Amino acid sequence: MAKKIVLLGSTGSIGCSTLKVAEDLPEELKIIALAAHSNVEKLAHQARHTGVKHVALYQSERVEVLRGLLPPDVKIYTGPEGLIEVATLTEADAVLVAIVGTAGLHPALAAIRAGKDLAVASKEILVMAGEIVTREAHQAGVKLLPVDSEHNAIFQCLDGHRGGEAEISRLILTASGGPFRNTPANELPLVTLAQALKHPTWEMGRKITIDSASLFNKGLEMIEARWLFGIGMDRIDVIVHPQSIIHSMVEFTDGSVLAQMSHTDMCFPIQYALTWPKRLRGGLKPLRFEELAKLEFIAPRENDFPALRLAREAGTAGGTLPAVYNAANEIAVDAFINGRIPFPGIWQMVEKTMQAHNIQAAAELEPILEADQWARVHASAQLHQ
């Protein structure tokens, strides 16, 4: 019987890739509900194509437009409450959350509490509330399935490992290095938005492409890995691997290293997360090693790209500081995109916001959300100083 999936964030790149994976594996995967922020035309097209009977639209102002584009038997849910309703549908087996920002946090927790396995593609869920999410998943007996290519790679390398955390020496996240991996530090203040958006490997949205250029995406992934795999920040490293063929590695205490390799196609980690513990052919293209010219590995320039240092500080301190790291970065990236700060200003804004924050415990959601809002206000205020 096909696994029934609720897809939150269906109109983004991860959502579209998820629909492709499900279409390639109709006997194994069935999308039963879709949710999007505001793209009603694309959402309606997806709903008609998949035949789902449940659709959620976060931006409720456009619900009448959506209603006019869908068959009358499709139930429409709206606003934040609508996301929670579809995330807890009785017939669902798993929920894939690919919503950008904090909007995915409440439906993710609701899905866990409803006993659904959670496929996580939204970094904010584990960066902001990793302690809560992992605790509640354990209590509910549900599986957290990573969709990010790096965490999915580590998940694959650890799948079947019975020795426990004590046998793991370190987790090694690979990074493409972004468009500025060879740019001298003194030229970074001069880089343009167009240059920052030219990622050498992946096709992604603006925010994550800028994060890749600044290495903030890797910093966020370090904090995610700390919660997903129960490993201290001191044992999570980053290596620049420009070819993006190895998606991450695990080094064990005996010196052995396991690596997961595949083409740069997000359908690989999405398929493994949704079909786990099975491995299925689907529509994925296998590697041909004779076609790989070379694989390079370079230490990241942490002094020139301080996002990794800041992530280690936030993840080690814990509490509400990771939420501040994430929120301040969102404000800083938006400011860079709109020409209000230079590229290095992203790191500077985040560091100043972190230094000003009074860290609180993060065992409950309220202080996390308060810290998120505080960081946005504090970071934004720097633009007027």
| CATH code assigned at 86 | 3.40.50.720
| pLDDT tens, residue by residue, 61-80 | 999 999 999 999 999 999 99
Q: Helix, strand, or coil here: 195? A: helix
- Domains contained in the chain, number: 2
Do 62 and 176 sit in the same domain of this protein?
A: no
Given 121, 142, 177, the domain boundary residue is 121
Tell me, yes or no, whether 363 lies in a domain. yes
| CATH code assigned at 160 | 1.10.1740.10
Do 287 and 213 sit in the same domain of this protein?
A: yes
Could you tell me the pTM of the whole model?
0.94
Do 257 and 334 sit in the same domain of this protein?
A: yes
Tell me, yes or no, whether 227 lies in a domain. yes
Joined together, the tokens standing for residue 70 give: 């869908």
| pLDDT tens, residue by residue, 312-364 | 999 999 999 999 999 999 999 999 999 999 999 999 999 999 999 999 999 99
Residue located via tokens 């513990």: 277
Do 95 and 216 sit in the same domain of this protein?
A: no
- In this prediction, residue 206 has a pLDDT band, given cuts at 50, 70 and 90, of confident
Do 159 and 271 sit in the same domain of this protein?
A: yes
Do 229 and 114 sit in the same domain of this protein?
A: no
Segments in 57-104 forming alpha helices (H): 63-69, 79-87
Joined together, the tokens standing for residue 229 give: 């795999």
pLDDT at residue number 200: 76
E strand or H helix at 75, and its extent? strand 75-78
Spatial distance between the Cα atoms of 124 and 253, rounded to a whole number of angstroms: 31
| pLDDT tens, residue by residue, 80-101 | 999 999 999 999 999 999 998 8
Do 107 and 189 sit in the same domain of this protein?
A: no
Segments in the chain forming alpha helices (H): 13-24, 40-50, 63-69, 79-87, 105-113, 123-140, 149-158, 193-196, 206-214, 216-229, 267-275, 307-317, 321-337, 345-356, 365-381
Tell me, yes or no, whether 171 lies in a domain. yes
Average pLDDT over residues 161-165: 87
Do 232 and 326 sit in the same domain of this protein?
A: yes
Tell me, yes or no, whether 283 lies in a domain. yes
Q: Which domain holds residue 309?
A: 153-384
DSSP state string for 334-366: HHHHTTSS-TTHHHHHHHHHHHH------SSHH
pLDDT at residue number 282: 87
Average pLDDT over residues 255-259: 97
Do 159 and 287 sit in the same domain of this protein?
A: yes
CA of residue 31 relative to chain centroid, distance: 20
